[in-house]
Amino acid sequence: MKIIALQEGNYIVNSQKEFQLLTEHTIDSGLKMAIQPFVVITDHDVILIDFGLGFVNNGVPFIYEMLRKNDIEPQQITKILVSHLHKDHIEGIGYFENNQFVQNFPNARIYIQEREIDFALEQLQNPSYVPELLNELKELPNVELLNEDNGQITDEIYFEVTAGHTKFQQVFWIKADNEIVFYGADDLPQKRYLKFPVAYKTDFDGKRAMESRKKWEQQAKDENWKVLLYHDMKTPVLDFAEERSEMKDAYRRKNRETRI
C-alpha cells in the first residue's frame, strides 16, 4: 500500500473553532494542530480518509491542490472514509455556489455513519459543525450510510464505531499486501496521546477514547500497524515496525558503546 499525507498545514484553533494558518507571525492563543487527510492506494482502490478544511483558492478546492501536488487527480479517488463530522474533517466534501451544493468528489463512494449525521444535527449551536453542510449529506447520491457498530466495506476496509471523540465516530483499518493501516481519527489524532493516558473533557466520552488508545497501541505493536495521525504536526504516519527497528538499533549502539 502507498500512504500519502495531504498536509494542508499547521493551524491554531480558538474556542469558536476558527482555524488560522500557523505562521511565525501568528499570535499564540489557541490549540495547535495539523490538518492532514490521507490517501491510501491499494491494488483495488484510491482511498481518501476524511476531507480536511473546505478552503477554496481562486475557485479551486484546496483538497484538489493537495492531491495534485502528490500526482493524484480528484477523479481518481474511488472511496472516501469519513470518521466524524467536525468541520475540519468534513468541509472539504464540497462548497456552495449560488445556494447550490457542489460536491468535490461526485464519483467516489463516501462512507458515513448515519447516526453520526443525526447526532451532529442535534448540535447546531456547537461551532465544530457546519449545519448547512450537514443538511446535504443524506441527500447525496454517492453517500453510503452505515448503521452497524462494526463491519467491512470491502475485503480490505474495516470500520468500527468507537464513540469516543464524538458519539458515533468511526475508525478504520485497511488491510492489504500483508500490511495494516489504521486510522483512529480524533480518538488518536497525535502521537503524544499515546504517551499521556488522559481522558479529555472535550471528547464525548474521554475515558472510552483513552481505553481505546491503550488497546490500539498494544495491537499496533503486536501486528506492526501503520497509524495515521490526522492532527500531528511532526509525525503523520507512525510505523510501529519501523519504531521497533529503531529501538533495536539504538539498543545495539548503546551496547557497543558500553563495550568500548
What pLDDT, on the 0 to 100 scale, is given for residue 249? Answer: 52
**Average pLDDT in the 99-127 region?**
95
What pLDDT, on the 0 to 100 scale, is given for residue 23? Answer: 82
**Average pLDDT in the 110-121 region?**
97
β-partners of residue 5 are 38
**Average pLDDT in the 38-49 region?**
98
- Is residue 181 a contact partner of residue 228, using CB atoms and an 8 Å limit? yes
pLDDT digits (tens, 9 = 90+) for 204-233: 999 999 999 999 999 999 999 999 999 999
Tell whether pTM > 0.75: yes
Given a cut of 60, is residue 244 above it in pLDDT?
no
What pLDDT, on the 0 to 100 scale, is given for residue 250? Answer: 53
For a pLDDT cut of 70, what percent of the chain falls above it?
A: 92
β-partners of residue 101 are 96
What pLDDT, on the 0 to 100 scale, is given for residue 22? Answer: 87
**Average pLDDT in the 149-156 region?**
98
The label of the residue with cell 488508545 reads 213
What pLDDT, on the 0 to 100 scale, is given for residue 182? Answer: 98
What pLDDT, on the 0 to 100 scale, is given for residue 103? Answer: 96
Q: Which three cell numbers stand for residue 216?
A: 490500539
What pLDDT, on the 0 to 100 scale, is given for residue 241? Answer: 78
What pLDDT, on the 0 to 100 scale, is given for residue 242? Answer: 74
What pLDDT, on the 0 to 100 scale, is given for residue 255? Answer: 60
What pLDDT, on the 0 to 100 scale, is given for residue 256? Answer: 61
What pLDDT, on the 0 to 100 scale, is given for residue 222? Answer: 95
Given a cut of 90, is residue 106 above it in pLDDT?
yes
Given a cut of 60, is residue 36 above it in pLDDT?
yes
Residue 235's pLDDT band, with cuts at 50, 70 and 90, is: very high
